[in-house]
């Protein structure tokens, strides 16, 4: 695109903008009467309404509320003093006291703000008066300080100032009623006596419980029982292990005997005796000696020879003695196994008894812990009540209320009303009138299909206009 085309487009754009502006001006000119009527009507209505509206006056007062720091309490109860006003949460409670319903009722009664009516509508009148009063009363602190600003709006400037000053006075009096410590001191004194009786009763119960159940040192007695239980468990484990080992050995020996193997000495605790071991070894040697002699005799004689038969009888007697010794060893092993099983049962019964004793002791300990906890809780409550009673005593002696209230700026009857704001109302009325008048003009133009210019004909017919007559004379 060259510079000539750009220039032509800019010229066309300027022509279109000038035409649009001219059309807008023509519309405003044609509808000038509508613009003027709507604008004047709205502005006049706002002016008349503002002038006829009852003026509302607002009276303001400022008070300084200082939170007291009690040196005596801090020293008595070991509390840290807060010397700065970084935390203003306490001011919320003060604001709520000023806006409370009892204080509002006192003001309503003092200035007779409740309309007199019959019994059926008395509650409704009171509720309406209370809501109206609370909506007109404004309370807040200035820039996170301890300066409170109290304001009230009324159609009577003198009444608004009187009500604000009365609110401050009633706030001071009502706060004194709330934080009156005389009743608190009597209450804490009575509670301390009850707490002392309850503490002594629980302590006597604990002492009697220890005496009845022979509990001297619960932890030491519990440790002794647990130590016994551990020893018995260890002994039971050893007995069971020994019994299992002996049963396994006995089973192996019995299986070997069933297989006909009688030429061995069973390895058991019974066979480990030196005398028995020597005796069996001696029998084995004699048996071996007779066996060798029998073999020598068989080289000369037959098996029916008297000497061979005598040797056989001797070998058989020795074998019987060896079998008898082995049987005695096995019987001794069985007896030991039975003894171990009996010991196991005794240990199991002892462990069961210990467990039952531990369970019973745990229940006793639980009851004792509950009694001890009750004593600790009662002592804590007793200590807390003592501190609160002493705090109430100090407060009662100083007749303090926690804060100091000073009136910085009392409320004076205002000279000028805060409502309505005439300048703001006139400016807003003019803006609304201008907007509504322009909207009305453009709305009428939009719904008006009359032809006022050749351009309108071209827009409707989509045909070019060759000529036009500005004014037609009928003369």
How would you class 143 by CB atoms within 10 Å of its CB: exposed for 0-12, middle for 13-18, buried for 19 or more? Answer: exposed
Is the pLDDT confidence value at 151 over 90? yes
pLDDT of residue 472: 54
State the Cα–Cα distance between residues 233 and 370, nearest whole angstrom.
31
Q: Give the range with max mean pLDDT: 8-17, 104-113, 308-317, 440-449.
A: 104-113
pLDDT attached to residue 158: 92
Range 81-88 average pLDDT: 48
Cβ-based neighbours of 406, under 8 Å, separated by 6 or more: 63, 64, 66
Q: Which of 140-149, 358-367, 433-442 has the lowest mean pLDDT?
A: 358-367
Report yes or no: 23 and 128 within 8 Å, Cβ to Cβ: no
Separation of alpha carbons 238 and 246, rounded Å = 12
- Residue labelled with tokens 């009673």: 389
Instruction: Give the pLDDT of residue 402.
Output: 63
Please, is 60 exposed, middle or buried when counting C-beta atoms within 10 Å of its C-beta (0-12, 13-18, 19+)? middle
CATH number of the domain at 57-179+401-409, out of 2.70.70.10, 3.40.50.10240, 1.20.58.100, 3.30.70.1130? 3.30.70.1130
Q: Are 179 and 97 in contact (CB under 8 A)?
A: no
21-30, 85-94, 154-163, 411-420: range with lowest mean pLDDT: 85-94
**Which of 6-15, 292-301, 303-312 is predicted least confidently?**
6-15
Scanning 53-87, the segments in alpha helix (DSSP H) are 71-77
Sign for the CA dihedral angle at 129, 114, 411, 57 comes to positive
- 347-389: pLDDT as tens digits: 888 888 878 877 776 777 667 667 677 677 777 877 887 787 7
pLDDT band at 138 (very low <50, low <70, confident <90, very high): very high
At residue 86, the pLDDT reads 46
Per-residue pLDDT for 411 more than 80? Answer: yes
Q: Give the largest CA-CA distance in the chain.
A: 193
Strand order in the sheet with 137-141: 137-141, 147-154, 57-67, 403-409
pLDDT at 85 over 50: no
Q: What per-residue confidence (pLDDT) applies to 457?
A: 64
State CA 412 to chain mean position distance. 50
pLDDT on residue 77? 45
Long-range Cβ pairs for the range 335-340 (8 Å, 24+)? 336/246, 336/269, 336/270, 337/243, 337/246, 337/247, 337/250, 340/239, 340/242, 340/243, 340/246
pLDDT of the residue at 400? 45
Q: How confident is the model at residue 423 (pLDDT cuts 50, 70, 90)?
A: confident
pLDDT band at 398 (very low <50, low <70, confident <90, very high): low
Average pLDDT taken over every residue of the chain: 76
3-class state of residue 135 by DSSP: helix
Secondary structure (DSSP) of 419-470: BS-HHHHHHHHHHHHHHHHHHHHHHHHHH-----SHHHHHHHH--------S
Closest CA to 34 of 432, 437, 436, 430: 437
Tell me the per-residue pLDDT of 232-260, one tens digit each, with 9 for 90 and over.
Answer: 888 888 888 888 887 777 777 777 777 65
Q: Residue 459 pLDDT > 80, yes or no?
A: no
Whether 166 has a pLDDT exceeding 70, the answer reads yes
Tell me the CB-side half-sphere exposure of residue 55, using CA atoms within 13 A. 12
The tokens for 417 are 């009303």
What is the structure's pLDDT at 397? 54
- Which helix (H) or strand (E) segment holds residue 153: the answer is strand 147-154
Comparing 7 with 219, the larger pLDDT belongs to: 219
Cβ partners under 8 Å of residue 269, min gap 6: 246, 333, 336
Phi, psi of 70, deg, nearest 5: -90, 110
Summarised one tens digit per residue, pLDDT across range 179-229 is 766 666 677 778 888 878 887 887 777 777 667 666 666 677 777 778 888
* Domain boundaries, given as residue ranges, for the chain: 57-179+401-409, 218-397
Res 462: pLDDT: 63
């Amino acid at each position: 695109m060259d510079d000539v085309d750009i220039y032509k487009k800019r010229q066309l754009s300027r022509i279109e903008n000038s035409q649009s502006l001219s059309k807008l001006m023509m519309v405003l000119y044609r509808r000038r009467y509508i613009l003027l009527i709507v604008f004047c009507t709205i502005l006049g209505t706002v002016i008349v309404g503002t002038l006829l509206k009852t003026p509302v006056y607002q009276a303001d007062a400022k008070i300084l509320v200082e939170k007291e720091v009690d040196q005596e309490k801090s020293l008595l109860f070991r509390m840290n003093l807060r010397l700065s006003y970084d935390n203003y949460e306490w001011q919320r409670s003060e604001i709520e006291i000023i806006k409370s319903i009892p204080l509002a009722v006192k003001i309503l009664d003092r200035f007779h703000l409740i309309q007199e009516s019959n019994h059926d509508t008395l509650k409704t009148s009171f509720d309406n008066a209370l809501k109206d009063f609370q909506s007109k009363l404004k309370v807040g602190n200035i820039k996170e300080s301890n300066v409170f600003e109290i304001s009230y709006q009324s159609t009577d400037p003198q009444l608004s100032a009187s009500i604000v000053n009365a609110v401050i006075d009633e706030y001071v009096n009502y706060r004194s009623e709330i934080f009156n410590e005389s009743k608190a001191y009597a209450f804490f004194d009575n509670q301390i006596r009850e707490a002392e009786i309850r503490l002594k009763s629980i302590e006597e119960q604990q002492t009697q419980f220890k005496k009845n159940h022979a509990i001297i040192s619960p932890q030491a007695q519990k440790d002794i029982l647990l130590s016994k239980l551990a020893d018995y468990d260890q002994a039971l484990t050893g007995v069971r292990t020994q019994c299992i080992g002996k049963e396994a050995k006995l089973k192996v020996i019995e299986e070997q005997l069933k297989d006909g193997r009688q030429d061995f000495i069973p390895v058991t605790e019974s066979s480990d005796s030196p005398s028995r071991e020597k005796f069996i070894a001696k029998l084995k040697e004699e048996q071996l000696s007779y066996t060798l002699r029998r073999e020598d005799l068989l080289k000369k004689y037959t098996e029916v020879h008297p000497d061979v038969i005598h040797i056989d009888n001797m070998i058989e007697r020795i074998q019987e003695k060896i079998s008898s010794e082995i049987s005695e060893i096995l019987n001794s092993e069985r007896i030991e196994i039975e003894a171990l099983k009996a010991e196991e049962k005794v240990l199991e019964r002892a462990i069961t008894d210990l467990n039952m004793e531990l369970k019973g002791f745990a229940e006793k300990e639980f009851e004792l812990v509950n009694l001890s906890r009750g004593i600790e809780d009662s002592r804590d409550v007793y200590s807390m009540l003592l501190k609160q009673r002493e705090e109430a005593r100090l407060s009662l002696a100083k007749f303090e209320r926690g804060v100091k209230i000073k009136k910085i700026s009392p409320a004076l009857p205002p000279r000028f009303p805060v409502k309505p704001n005439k300048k703001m109302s006139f400016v807003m009325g003019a803006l609304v009138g201008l907007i509504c008048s322009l909207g009305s003009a453009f709305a009428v133009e939009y719904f008006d299909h009359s032809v006022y210019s050749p351009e309108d004909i071209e827009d409707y017919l989509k045909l070019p206009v060759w000529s036009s007559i500005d004014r037609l004379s009928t003369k």
